[in-house]
Structure 1
């Protein structure tokens, strides 16, 4: 019989109602054997008491239900965001507070780059923070007039390119296409919106900033970001699952040293669903205990901060035209029906309330025609969903994974520019969703915002913006509700709550190890609790590896 390890802790927070708190947990063969008091567990036959966490607090490993492997891979590009950010190795990147500072960092990257013919790539650009000044091709021409320069917006729903890139993509004033932004004279500004046109432009430059096959380094870096945040299970929310990607994912996740359970979702796209169904079926065979396959992501609209989300009247607060559909409305039903009938859990991206309305109508129709009780689908983001929509979601048994971090990072922008004060206060209405009977989780959408579940929980409890403005006090969650949302709620959104999300006998021994107890600090300090490391399958992974010390 293998050794039984009993982890002694200052406190164990289980997320199980029959025993919410304990001070010890017994682990056998990577699974939880028993939870309780150290006085009882220490006498289990063959048990070895581990005091490594005696002064720490053990929670279920955090579950990130909406993020991307790109949170590891984007750091190969030049960071151009407004807020300070931390890379996979803990390096701090200062935020850029002006468009001039963005151009200067790109110029520095241009000078340092050896391969002058290859496109220069940047990410994280947040134009809404620069007082209405829009980046144009002319700005990026200050970096290079001969080398293509591509700058991915922080939303990942828009792109800016310079004149060299416009020329290489064959875009001039004679071109008209949905998503191409032009000035009053009809000339392209260099801004490209939403995936269809963005992918065409990138393909002409032999670049893919959205759905390229990840490298092994990308996946390990993503796991490093997760480990540092106390995350033991995380999604890759839009993956084409090519044969090469599946082989790499399988190779990486079968390593005992890999500190993360990965849930890559196949990205459903417009077109015939038959080859997409075949791809998912083939992918499932690559799965293992750290690699969960068989889920689908569908994208309806775009992003509110890119003005590409589809929203109901009165529309955008600043008068911008309505957004774009990434999945044509007429096609959404056929995709949902095909994946639903095949037995695959569907996660559908809905940012604007018009997109939520469309998705609800489609799922209501599919459930009437092809009722299933086993499948529990999930709506992702749900930023503008209202009480009536949440009630319909509850009737369908669909979970909501809310983009709570938007309150902090973009709440002021929504208040002043995109939606106005009233609708900004109703964004990510987590309390309303719970009152309507919806199972909720909350997420980062990393790398759009940092992967940090304790911060996300802090946002949902306090609902303050980066300037300190309170948005929607009635939508604040309690500490119990917020912790549930980053553990069991997120596990339920992935239909993995029988394996992860709480500290209960039989589940994976996946833990977040914290330096302090969330129940002993004031709500405004929850985000400041340090993560010491994680345990995945009974193996401890410290926050800082020796190579990062």
Structure 2
């Protein structure tokens, strides 16, 4: 009545509201990108994905500074950009996807199908632990999800989809199955981002469609105790981020921390995936732990698949980019519960030292 908000803005409503805020200036975006990339370098990263240009309004506000920095040789890590569907459609008329330089590439589409489990906005197949009768909702109905996935898959464009709850993952997996049936190909490296509660059967179906999961492995460490007590209960919490199942099924998977949800880190994320111990000291899902080598592969060889970079990065081999990170200890040489204590000493991208500790 008086122009003041009276409740919460959730998911798409929040994104719509954010789009009404004053856009940052190009100078502010440039400065922010330089600062953010320096933090990635400090944590050992030489390639990163920006998974959602358009979330905060016009994607061009961010794309233009990216392009300027790349042209000036000031990107100290290689950027792979994904766009919300409506923003991507502006580029698709020009056939702009997949183009770029060694340091900046326009990738595919990223969209969201549910919220976060710890915000009670993830879409679950079973009730929330402390809210009987409530399972959350999909942001889009299944017909809309089918249409989005079908459109871009049949155009030959990679689709990355945010799914936290298993109901959201199920809706998206079905959409990919329909799309692959109509336009048979499994080489586009589609992604389920988070895929927090996918079952083994869902993972098998993802593998059949060529869909790669990327797991937010620090959920167990940071929110595991709350998931067990409030959101999912102990049994489903032990199933979260099932990297162990993916490894047993022989399918590639990546890891991430969903910055800015949590600060940038690779080693902390690997530590969480290997150990799966909560802040309260509880081991959740011993069978979903992975080895240090598998965690390392998730951030290197497997991650390179997600940006179409398997031929030029992700391994130290002749003919690939000179992108390296020097650690003070080998990840496989330390005890698993000390992986997060390993320090980055130097990061080299394109043969240049971009961080030195």
Counterpart among 410, 434, 444 of residue 257 in structure 2: 444
Q: Which residue of 1 aligns with 2:146?
A: 333
Cα offset, 1:356, TM superposition: 0.8
Higher-RCO chain (CA-CA 8 Å, sequence separation at least 6): 1
- Cα offsets for 1:456-484 (capped at 9, x unmatched): 11101100111211110111001111111
Aligned residues between the structures: 352
Structure-1 separation of matches of 2:339 and 2:2: 50
Cα offset, 1:438, TM superposition: 1.9
- Cα offsets for 1:84-116 (capped at 9, x unmatched): xxxxxxxxxxxxxxxxxxxxxxxxxxxxxxxxx
Q: Are the structure 2 counterparts of residues 202 and 231 from structure 1 closer, same or farther at C-alpha, using a change threshold of 3 Å?
A: closer
- Cα offsets for 1:70-95 (capped at 9, x unmatched): xxxxxxxxxxxxxxxxxxxxxxxxxx
Structure-2 separation of matches of 1:306 and 1:516: 37
Q: Are the structure 2 counterparts of residues 539 and 274 from structure 1 closer, same or farther at C-alpha, using a change threshold of 3 Å?
A: closer
Q: Are the structure 2 counterparts of residues 167 and 448 from structure 1 closer, same or farther at C-alpha, using a change threshold of 3 Å?
A: farther
Structure-1 separation of matches of 2:3 and 2:93: 35
Q: Which residue of 1 aligns with 2:92?
A: 277
Q: Are the structure 2 counterparts of residues 282 and 376 from structure 1 closer, same or farther at C-alpha, using a change threshold of 3 Å?
A: closer
Structure-2 separation of matches of 1:433 and 1:199: 32
Report if aligned partners of 1:402, 1:440 keep a CA contact under 8 Å in 2: yes
Q: Which residue of 2 aligns with 1:224?
A: 38
The structure whose residues are more often helix, as a share, is: 2
Report if aligned partners of 1:214, 1:245 keep a CA contact under 8 Å in 2: no
Cα offset, 1:505, TM superposition: 1.3
Q: How does 1:6-45 map to 2 (within 5 A)?
A: none
Cα offset, 1:373, TM superposition: 3.8
Q: Are the structure 2 counterparts of residues 541 and 276 from structure 1 closer, same or farther at C-alpha, using a change threshold of 3 Å?
A: closer
Q: Which residue of 2 aligns with 1:406?
A: 219
> The residue matched to 2:260 in structure 1 has which SS?
coil
Report if aligned partners of 2:59, 2:83 keep a CA contact under 8 Å in 1: no
Cα offset, 1:242, TM superposition: 3.4
Report if aligned partners of 1:227, 1:541 keep a CA contact under 8 Å in 2: yes
Does 1:256 find its partner at 2:68? no
Report if aligned partners of 1:269, 1:298 keep a CA contact under 8 Å in 2: no
Structure-2 separation of matches of 1:350 and 1:516: 35
Structure-2 separation of matches of 1:517 and 1:418: 36
Counterpart among 344, 351, 356 of residue 157 in structure 2: 344
**TM-score, normalised with respect to structure 1:** 0.61
**TM-score, normalised with respect to structure 2:** 0.92
Report if aligned partners of 1:226, 1:451 keep a CA contact under 8 Å in 2: yes
Cα offset, 1:216, TM superposition: 0.1
Structure-2 separation of matches of 1:436 and 1:465: 25
Structure-2 separation of matches of 1:459 and 1:481: 12
Q: Are the structure 2 counterparts of residues 243 and 202 from structure 1 closer, same or farther at C-alpha, using a change threshold of 3 Å?
A: closer
Q: Which residue of 2 aligns with 1:215?
A: 29
What 5-or-longer segments of structure 1 have no aligned partner? 1-165, 172-187, 545-549
- Cα offsets for 1:25-48 (capped at 9, x unmatched): xxxxxxxxxxxxxxxxxxxxxxxx
- For the pair shown, which has the larger CA radius of gyration, 1 or 2? 1
Report if aligned partners of 2:113, 2:161 keep a CA contact under 8 Å in 1: yes
Q: Which residue of 2 aligns with 1:526?
A: 339
Structure-2 separation of matches of 1:237 and 1:540: 26
Q: Which residue of 2 aligns with 1:380?
A: 193
Report if aligned partners of 1:426, 1:472 keep a CA contact under 8 Å in 2: yes
Structure-2 separation of matches of 1:302 and 1:491: 26
Cα offset, 1:282, TM superposition: 3.8
Cα offset, 1:224, TM superposition: 1.2
- Cα offsets for 1:355-378 (capped at 9, x unmatched): 111111110011011101432211
Q: Are the structure 2 counterparts of residues 543 and 317 from structure 1 closer, same or farther at C-alpha, using a change threshold of 3 Å?
A: farther
What 5-or-longer segments of structure 2 have no aligned partner? none
Report if aligned partners of 2:217, 2:255 keep a CA contact under 8 Å in 1: yes
Q: Which residue of 2 aligns with 1:168?
A: 3
Report if aligned partners of 1:303, 1:309 keep a CA contact under 8 Å in 2: yes
